[in-house]
Structure 1
Amino acid sequence: MPVVSRLSTTPVKGTALHSPSTVELTRDGVEHNRRFHLVDGRGRLFNGKHHGPLVRITADLDGPELTLRIPGRDPVRASSTELGEPVVTNFYGRDVPGHLLAGPFADALTEFVGEPVDLVATDVPGAGVDVHPVTLVSSATIEHLRSVTPDGGRLDHRRFRMLVELEGTGVHEEDGWVGRRVRLGGATVRVVGPVPRCVVTNENPDSGEVDFRTLKAIVRYRGELATRLDTPVDHLPDNGAVIFGMYATVEEPGPIALGDPVEVLDEVPSAGVSGS
């Protein structure tokens, strides 16, 4: 039986990933995952697509206290409950209400990025995901991409920034789960469809610099690309045709831990996107 082999979260969207041993999945996702996000001077979502080196920042949320470890300066630490004015951020066609975070964060991030940015706390914990609250991919799928790509050893899992990674499946087996319920430990999700990939996958997960043509590598071996998606694609290369990993919604909240069994609950899959 497949098992959960890796979990990846971060309190601030676009910053370095953490690898917790367990998470609590709510209807909206993991409460502290992407709890905060950046907006630019015009109030638009600002992430790794706009400034890859955000991954050099490590964000830690300990109770109400948020700490940003930004290269070249002392840690920036303050309460995350001191809120400023309300804002609404457009997440690829979905309005996400939130409030600007008061304190030292905006000045420190603006200095690092090189242009005015603010840090925003979403009003609903878990609402700061791109489209759906759960993303998943199998280790076999990642390893296959590595094996068929010249110099593919550089393609580690962090480039894809998936919440859940699975071990014990076939290559792209998860692609056949569209429409099916999947039990992940103490939670149950329903797989919705493929994740269209963006240029962040081309960026080194340590430096944020573009150092690999990951999107081209996916296209090269998959051949057939997505032609119909139920997710926003206008902001993506090739209108979202480059797909890797799967989106899911939450049917039953609950805990997920490393080593938890993964069970597909529905016998007959809906029509989905085939693997390579």
Structure 2
Amino acid sequence: MSTIHVVKEIYIYPVKSLAGISCQEALAEEMGFENDRRWMLLDAENQMITQREHRIMSQFYPQISDGKISIVFRDHKHEFSIDEHLSIPIETTVWEDKSEVVEVNKTTSEWFSKHLGFECKLVKIMKIGGRKHESSRLKEIFNVSLADGYPYLLVGSESLDFLNEKLKDKITVLRFRPNIVITSKKAHEEDDFDTFKIGEVQFKNVKPCGRCIMVNNDPQNGNLKKEPLKTLSTYRKVENSVFFGTNIVSLNSGIIRVGDPIVF
């Protein structure tokens, strides 16, 4: 058992591209943590909406309580039931993956449309297999959520510390929207993890995570900056990708908690 690698932070992001929620524990499932990126916003053409085009999405803050999700945006608040949805299926894509979703309700879609300033709808992925993602590296197909690629993103604490040593303006790990942050000994050692266990759950590393312009969006205020992607590109660029953190999948379901050791 490692005493170096311990779960430091856990995050879920109920609605794709909105702010996240810090958790002390979470239920790991095949598609990702329970309630993690099971919802997302679509435009009038049923195409996904993300912070890449609409940085203001980082200013919508979700919370979960008593079977409901509440969203706070500035002085406005809206809530809906976790189990709420309409019945008509909608076909969309998350990048190249076909995804079947359903709209939550018309009132929620109208609320988001009003505050984002354009027509959109909030949708939910309902079932395992509603979206499948193929790993070219592992030659496997995974049932996934509405996250960009894989269900979980793991980041080691030393990776962030190493980056911050090079930055004039320090950043937090929230720039990278991780699910699991662990204490680590060396920067980016998580890239080389294979299989490991946290709490009740066995995880498998898929590949380091290629980062996009979205990490330059400051989640505190929604302002786009040049960092950290500019600096990361000087030492973490491989071909056309800039890596930070690693994508993992769970091999079974179970609870993980802050403070759990990582067992290799």
Please give the TM-score of this superposition, normalised by the length of structure 2.
Answer: 0.87
SS of the residue corresponding to residue 106 of structure 1 reads helix
Deviation at 1:63, TM superposition (A): 4.5
Q: Name which of 16, 20, 25 aligns with 1:17.
A: 20
CA contact (8 A) 2:167 2:228 kept: no
CA contact (8 A) 1:76 1:104 kept: no
Question: What corresponds to 1:270 in structure 2?
Answer: none
**What is the RMSD of the two structures over their aligned residues, measured on CA atoms?**
1.6
Q: Which amino acid aligns with 2:99?
A: V
1:127 aligns with 2:145: yes
Deviation at 1:84, TM superposition (A): 4.8
Question: What corresponds to 1:268 in structure 2?
Answer: none
Deviation at 1:64, TM superposition (A): 4.0
Distance in 2 between residues matched to 1:82 and 1:193, nearest whole Å: 34
More deviation, 48-57/76-85? 76-85
Question: What corresponds to 2:141 in structure 1?
Answer: none
| Structure 1 residues not aligned, in runs of 5+ | 228-237, 265-276
Question: What corresponds to 1:55 in structure 2?
Answer: 58
Question: What corresponds to 1:217 in structure 2?
Answer: 231
Note the alpha carbon deviations across 1:97-129, whole angstroms, 9 max, x for none.
Answer: 110111421111112211111100111376122
1:159 aligns with 2:175: yes
Distance in 2 between residues matched to 1:35 and 1:201, nearest whole Å: 21
Q: Which amino acid aligns with 1:204?
A: D
Aligned residue pairs total 245
Q: Name which of 184, 201, 217 aligns with 1:187.
A: 201
More deviation, 26-35/122-131? 122-131
Note the alpha carbon deviations across 1:54-106, whole angstroms, 9 max, x for none.
Answer: 11111223354232212132x21233413253112211111121101114211
Q: What does residue range 35-50 of structure 1 map to in structure 2 within 5 Å?
A: 35-50=38-53
SS of the residue corresponding to residue 201 of structure 1 reads helix
Question: What corresponds to 1:254 in structure 2?
Answer: 254
Q: What does residue range 1-276 of structure 1 map to in structure 2 within 5 Å?
A: 1=3, 2-73=5-76, 75-80=77-82, 81-124=84-127, 127-151=145-169, 153=170, 155-177=171-193, 180-222=194-236, 225-227=237-239, 238=240, 241-264=241-264
SS of the residue corresponding to residue 67 of structure 1 reads strand
Identity, in percent, stands at 22
SS of the residue corresponding to residue 83 of structure 1 reads coil
CA contact (8 A) 1:148 1:221 kept: no
Distance in 2 between residues matched to 1:148 and 1:78, nearest whole Å: 43
Distance in 2 between residues matched to 1:135 and 1:211, nearest whole Å: 23
CA contact (8 A) 2:40 2:48 kept: yes
| Structure 2 residues not aligned, in runs of 5+ | 129-143
Please give the TM-score of this superposition, normalised by the length of structure 1.
Answer: 0.84
